């Protein structure tokens, strides 16, 4: 055993680290995956790169994927090929005020923000010779003679500066970048052929021939790790640049260079990556490996002995204390299920058994063979971040006991899977109950007693999390889709994947902003500090949804204009028409006094100034009739944000009011 352990240790220590092919899709991004710089912002799945304004101005913004992507492997002296696809729209409220365009770029750093105008938000306007080796594909909408542009509607390849190596006029391809149409771009680079190709189309179908082809060795500009993203800029213009539906992948690094021991370890992939082989290492690589073996061999022997002793002692402790998989001190109530049990209960995790999907996993309905007991099984995605969120959820919810929290029944960590087993909620989530159409289920409109009960139950659960637990639990993702309904329509708060623990006597610390737009408190968007008051804001939005039957950000009836629910209710309240906010589908069948009380509680919780929000214990007392409602100002208070030249993802805020042409399906957000 010791000799085998030593062999694998030596193999692990001295086998060069293989380069990894990478593949990702923006549909699976969370807040922590992106960094936004300058004037860029997020708007319900799409990325805005420049200011939305009716007054001509200068603006620049960029968005960068935080994942460091390997473009060059020093061990094999191999460079990556890459392929990306994305859709974009360039719109303008004033067609006479055009320019300047957007880029897709590859940068050696994740803080690339350049100048406005023809520098396209990615290149530096001073001392161009010192610009970093940034590779950019520009979609240019202004003719800048100083940069040798030939038209105001072209695609170009830029390296380290805005002077294009090659450009193509899009007029002959019947593509107008300024048309406002949603345009899809495909960019492929083959390192083997030293060839870059670009396709453009108004549809999602890739054309047969590229509109841009150039033979160039981009690998000369590759560093070992680089970052990918988008940038855009304007100068004296109202042009607006939006990007969505982005996929990216690298390929070309060898997957069978070394022994079979390391096979399947070279790809981080969400999709299929082309297989390109590589036959041998260089002589210098072999010399370095031999030298490392001769110098570090004795050290490896010592490490092997220490590792052997550590493994032996650990196994002995596990046997004597009967520890199994995860820390037993965390899991005192729930039991461990076997993978075989849960696989059988979900019919091999059959697609037909899926009852929900989230950012970090998929939920299956599980019926246990023999007993017929039904559970909900949450299966973690394979990404490292998803697993860490799963462990966070497990460590927190396993210690919680409250009638309005989803009860954890068990877990499984076999066969490389992470599975959480919850009690099954037969009526699904609150959002499905609120927004289902009556013609789909006659007579099933969520009635007023059920809605009021949801508000009280959720307040009770949050009061428990914030003030009654040994450590405060900040949920960070309170929304209607995370509130489940049991057999009696009692609310159960679930999905603790983003939750954080905080000592009662300590101040919050800044973290990456997490949660769902529309439910996030303004101060959380500004400084990234999650507190019990940020949960209170989210609760207030949920309460208004329960009363009004409208989503946090919704379309105005018969209009493309988006409406913020908090703003809409507050406007009615300022006009003494608060009762008109009640869901029309209730047909007036509700307690008017209770409706007004609940609407005022929702507004007080959604107050932009966190110091004015009530605690959840106070809210519970108000809804239970044990305390009087707190005064709510007739006019919604204003919140002034600090100005900043650089916004990260945790500081996103959008101040747009209307959806730009060509992107009418995007929901926008306004926070006063």
Contact 50, 232 (CB under 8 A): yes
Q: How far apart are CA 551 and CA 540, in angstroms?
A: 13
The three-class DSSP label of residue 452 is: helix
Q: How far apart are CA 652 and CA 541, in angstroms?
A: 19
Residue 564 token pair: 């913020």
Q: How far apart are CA 168 and CA 154, in angstroms?
A: 5
Residue 155 token pair: 């695609």
Q: How many CB atoms lie within 10 A of CB 476?
A: 23
Give me the catalytic one of 477, 486, 495, 532.
477
Contact 515, 428 (CB under 8 A): no
Q: How many CB atoms lie within 10 A of CB 383?
A: 15
Find the angle CA(466)-CA(468)-CA(473) to the nearest 5 degrees: 35
Q: How far apart are CA 80 and CA 52, in angstroms?
A: 37
Q: How far apart are CA 446 and CA 436, in angstroms?
A: 9
Contact 478, 621 (CB under 8 A): no
- Compute the chain's Rg from CA coordinates: 28
Closest CA to 252 of 184, 194, 176, 316: 194
Going 338 to 342 to 347 to 351, the CA torsion angle's sign is: negative
Per the annotation, binding residues for ATP are: 378
503 counts as catalytic = no
Q: How far apart are CA 317 and CA 254, in angstroms?
A: 41
Per the annotation, binding residues are: 378
Show which residues are catalytic: 477
């Amino acid at each position: 055993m010791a000799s085998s352990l030593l062999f694998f240790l030596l193999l692990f220590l001295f086998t060069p680290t293989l380069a990894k092919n990478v593949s990702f899709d923006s549909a699976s991004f969370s807040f922590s995956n992106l960094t936004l710089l300058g004037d860029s912002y997020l708007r319900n799945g799409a990325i805005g790169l420049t200011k939305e304004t009716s007054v001509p101005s200068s603006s620049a913004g960029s968005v960068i994927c935080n994942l460091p992507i390997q473009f060059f492997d020093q061990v094999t002296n191999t460079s990556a090929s890459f392929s990306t696809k994305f859709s974009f729209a360039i719109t303008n409220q004033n067609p006479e005020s055009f320019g300047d365009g957007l880029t897709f770029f590859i940068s050696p750093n994740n803080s690339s923000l350049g100048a406005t105008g023809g520098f396209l938000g990615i290149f530096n306007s001073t001392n161009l010779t010192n610009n970093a080796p940034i590779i950019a594909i520009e979609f240019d909408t202004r003719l800048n003679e100083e940069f040798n542009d030939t038209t105001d509607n072209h695609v170009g390849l830029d390296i380290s500066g805005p002077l294009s190596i090659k450009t193509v006029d899009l007029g002959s391809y019947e593509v107008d970048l300024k048309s406002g149409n949603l345009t899809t771009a495909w960019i492929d680079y083959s390192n083997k052929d030293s060839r870059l190709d670009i396709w453009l189309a108004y549809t999602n179908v890739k054309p047969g021939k590229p509109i841009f082809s150039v033979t160039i060795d981009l690998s000369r500009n590759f560093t070992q790790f680089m970052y990918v993203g988008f940038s855009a800029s304007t100068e004296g213009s109202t042009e607006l640049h939006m990007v969505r539906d982005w996929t990216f992948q690298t390929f070309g690094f060898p997957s069978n260079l070394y022994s079979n021991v390391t096979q399947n370890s070279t790809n981080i992939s969400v999709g299929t990556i082309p297989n390109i082989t590589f036959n041998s290492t260089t002589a210098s690589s072999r010399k370095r490996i031999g030298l490392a073996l001769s110098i570090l061999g004795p050290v490896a022997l010592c490490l092997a002995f220490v590792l052997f002793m550590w493994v032996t002692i650990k196994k002995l402790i596990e046997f004597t204390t009967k520890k199994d998989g995860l820390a037993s001190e965390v899991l005192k109530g729930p039991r461990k299920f076997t993978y075989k049990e849960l696989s059988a209960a979900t019919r091999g995790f059959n697609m037909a058994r899926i009852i929900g999907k989230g950012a970090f996993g998929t939920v299956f309905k599980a019926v246990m063979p023999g007993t017929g007991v039904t559970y909900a099984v949450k299966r973690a995605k394979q990404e490292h971040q998803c697993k860490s969120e799963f462990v966070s959820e497990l460590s927190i919810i396993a210690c919680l006991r409250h009638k309005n929290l989803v009860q954890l029944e068990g877990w499984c960590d076999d066969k490389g899977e992470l599975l959480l087993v919850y009690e099954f909620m037969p009526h699904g989530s609150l959002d499905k109950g609120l927004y289902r159409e009556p013609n789909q289920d006659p007579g099933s409109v969520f009635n007023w007693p059920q809605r009021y009960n949801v508000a009280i139950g959720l307040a009770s659960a949050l009061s428990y999390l914030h003030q009654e637990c040994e450590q405060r639990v900040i949920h960070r993702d309170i929304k209607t889709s995370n509130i489940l309904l049991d057999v009696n329509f009692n609310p159960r708060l679930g999905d603790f994947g983003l939750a954080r623990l905080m000592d009662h006597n300590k101040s919050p610390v800044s973290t990456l902003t997490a949660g769902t737009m529309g439910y996030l408190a303004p101060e959380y968007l500004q400084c990234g500090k999650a507190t019990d008051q940020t949960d209170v804001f989210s609760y207030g939005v949920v309460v208004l949804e329960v009363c009004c039957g409208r989503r946090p950000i919704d379309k105005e009836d018969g209009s493309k204009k988006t409406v913020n629910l908090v703003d809409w209710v507050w406007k009615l309240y300022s006009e003494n028409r608060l009762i008109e906010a009640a869901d029309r589908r209730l047909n007036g069948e509700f307690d008017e006094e209770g409706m007004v009380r609940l609407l005022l509680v929702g507004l007080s919780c959604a107050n932009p100034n966190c110091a004015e929000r009530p605690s959840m214990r106070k809210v519970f007392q108000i809804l239970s009739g044990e305390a009087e409602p707190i005064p709510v100002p007739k006019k919604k208070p204003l919140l002034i944000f600090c100005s900043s030249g650089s916004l990260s993802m945790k500081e996103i805020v959008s101040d747009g009011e209307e959806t730009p042409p060509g992107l009418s399906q995007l929901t926008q957000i306004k926070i006063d």
